[in-house]
Copies of this chain bind each other. A is one copy, B any other.
Amino acid sequence: MKRIENEDDRHITFSKRKSGIYKKASELTTLCGAEVGVVIFSPSGKPFSFAHPSIDSISNRFLNRIPPENNDTTQALVEAHKKMRLDAIKEQHNELLNDFESEKERGKRLEIMDKERRKEKGWWDVPIESLSLEELQQMYSSFQDIHDNLANHLRMRSTFGESSSSSMFHAGTSTQQPDQFP
């Protein structure tokens, strides 16, 4: 499976397969009741897209809104869209563009904050769900080290009392020594 070099063949294949994907997508919606959106850029950069039940429904779902109307058939939606006045679409388009831009900037801001906080606060303060298996394993062994560390400390204290000399020992500064997970 590799790139089709002949230009005409490539275009034909693109068109046919695009239709094929649209069909698969619609079948998924009818069979499973899923909502599907597809965006495709042709090799020449032309944009195509498909969505069911409608773009609005899918975007509303993203925006946690209640769909204003959800009983429309796809055909009806297509007709409705065709009937929409050009300037109305353009207006919405521009509005969306603005929203998209601010949303994108917000995302960037959050991401930067995220990274900075991670630097400040340390590697352990991360939601477990978002970690890969390897990262989780590393975290596990790191905590094991800390755990052992604390155990030693407790043992020392209860044996020799408060005689700790090194003043600024932090629990979390243990060195990483990846152990095998049982």
Considering the chains assembled together, what is the distance between the CA atoms of A142 and B156 in angstroms? 19
A83 and B147: CB pair below 8 A?
no
A62-102, CB < 8 A from B: 62-63, 74, 78-84, 86, 89-101
Query: Considering only CB atoms, which chain B residue lies closest to A48 in the complex?
Result: B91
Partner of A143 from B31, B81, B100, B143 at Cβ < 8 Å = B143
CB–CB B176/A181 < 8 A: yes
Interface string of A94-121 (1 = CB under 8 A from B): 1111111101111100111111111011
Inside 8 A of A23's CB, which chain B residues have their CB?
A: 80-83
Residue of B nearest to A93 (CB): B93
Copies in the complex: 2
Q: A32-B3, A172-B124 are in contact. Are A41 and B58 (CB under 8 A)?
A: yes
B133 x A140 contact (CB < 8 A): no
In the complex, what residues of B have CB within 8 A of residue A95's CB?
39, 47, 49
Q: Are B74 and A81 in contact (CB under 8 A)?
A: yes
B40 near A34 (CB under 8 angstroms)? yes
Residues of B within 8 A of A174 (CB): 129-130
In the complex, the answer to whether B55 meets A97 with C-beta atoms within 8 Å is yes
